[in-house]
Amino acid sequence: MEQINSHVEKLAGKVVVLGVSGSIAAYKSADLTSELRKAGAEVFVVMTESATRFITPLTLGTLSRNPVAVSLWDEGQGWQPGHIELADQADLFLVAPATANQIANFARGQCPDLLASIYLATRAPVLIAPAMNGKMYEHEATQENLKILESRGVHFIDPVVGELACGYEGVGKLAPIDQIVLESAGLLA
Ligand SMILES: Cc1cc2nc3c(=O)[nH]c(=O)nc-3n(C[C@H](O)[C@H](O)[C@H](O)COP(=O)(O)O)c2cc1C
C-alpha cells in the first residue's frame, strides 16, 4: 500500500491531459478523473464528440475542476490554438478509454478532431487504455495499429477479459481504474 501511495505521489502537481473517446466505458472516466485529481494531478479532459454521447462534459468538468474541451474550434485560454496549448502543457497524455477509431487515427497521423490533433502535437509520454468489443480489438487492423504505436514509443494498458457491454465475453474491457492511475504515475518523473 505504501509502495502504491509513493508511486501515485508522482502525479502531484503534474498536468494530465485525459482524452476520453466514444466507448461505452467512457462513464468510467468519471472515476478516473476523480482519482487522478485526488492524487494531486491537474486534469484537463478532452472529449471526442462521440464520448459526449456517453458522459457529459459537465460531469467531467466538475470532477476535474477544469473546463472540458471537445471541439478543435473552441478558443483556447491564450493566443495559441487549443490543441497546441493542451499538447504543450501536458506532462502526460492519457487516453482512456481509447476507441478503435482513435487508435487508427493516431497510427495514421490523422487529425480529424481535437483529441487526435493533441496526440500528434504533444511530446509528452502517451499512455493509451483501449476498450472495445473483443472482435474489434483482435481485428488485424487494430492489432497492426497498436503495433505501429508501440514501435513509436506509445505505452499501453491492455484491456482485460470479461463480460463486455456488447453482450460478448472476451478481451476488450477497460483496465481497472487503479491500474490506469498507477501506470500513469509510473510514466512521470
Ligand atoms: C453503444 C455503443 C458503444 C460503443 N462502444 C465502443 C467501444 O467500447 N469501443 C470502440 O472502439 N467503439 C465503440 N463504439 C463505436 C464508436 O463510438 C465509434 O467508432 C465512434 O466513431 C468513435 O468515435 P471517437 O473515436 O471519435 O470517439 C460504440 C458505439 C456505440 C453506439
Cα–Cα–Cα angle for 69, 179, 126, nearest 5°?
45
Pull the grid cell for residue 33: 478523473
pLDDT value, residue 170: 84
Ligand 1 mean position to 25 CA, how many Å? 9
Specify the CATH number for the domain of residue 133. Answer: 3.40.50.1950
- Residue 101 CA: nearest ligand 1 atom is 25
Pull the grid cell for residue 26: 467512457
pLDDT value, residue 166: 79
Ligand 1 mean position to 28 CA, how many Å? 14
DSSP at 139: S
Tell me which residues are annotated as active site.
166
Per-residue pLDDT tens, the chain, 189 aa: give them.
Answer: 455 566 789 999 999 999 999 999 999 999 999 999 999 999 999 999 999 999 999 999 999 999 999 999 987 677 888 888 899 999 999 999 999 999 999 999 999 999 999 999 999 999 999 999 999 999 999 999 999 999 999 999 999 998 888 787 888 999 999 999 999 999 998
Q: How far apart, in Å, are the Cα atoms of 156 and each of 97, 127, 146, 179?
A: 11, 6, 9, 11
Beta-strand ranges (E) seen in the chain are: 15-20, 42-47, 92-98, 126-130, 155-156, 160-163, 169-173
Ligand 1 mean position to 146 CA, how many Å? 17
Ligand 1 mean position to 100 CA, how many Å? 8
3-state SS, 22-66, equals CCHHHHHHHHHHHHHHHCCCEEEEEECCCHHHCCCHHHHHHHHCC
Residue closest via CA to ligand 1's atom 16 equals: 22
Residue closest via CA to ligand 1's atom 22 equals: 22
Question: Within 6 Å (CB) of ligand 1, which residues are found?
Answer: 21-25, 48, 50-51, 99-102, 131-132, 136
Q: Which domain holds residue 152?
A: 2-186
- Residue 105 CA: nearest ligand 1 atom is 25
Residue closest via CA to ligand 1's atom 17 equals: 22
pLDDT value, residue 36: 98
> CB-based contacts of 89: which residues, under 8 Å, 6+ apart?
15, 17, 44
Residue closest via CA to ligand 1's atom 5 equals: 23
Give the chain's domain count. 1
Among 67, 97, 63, 94, which residue's Cα sits nearest to residue 82?
A: 67
Among 104, 91, 63, which residue's Cα sits nearest to residue 188?
A: 91
Pull the grid cell for residue 143: 492489432
- Residue 166 CA: nearest ligand 1 atom is 3
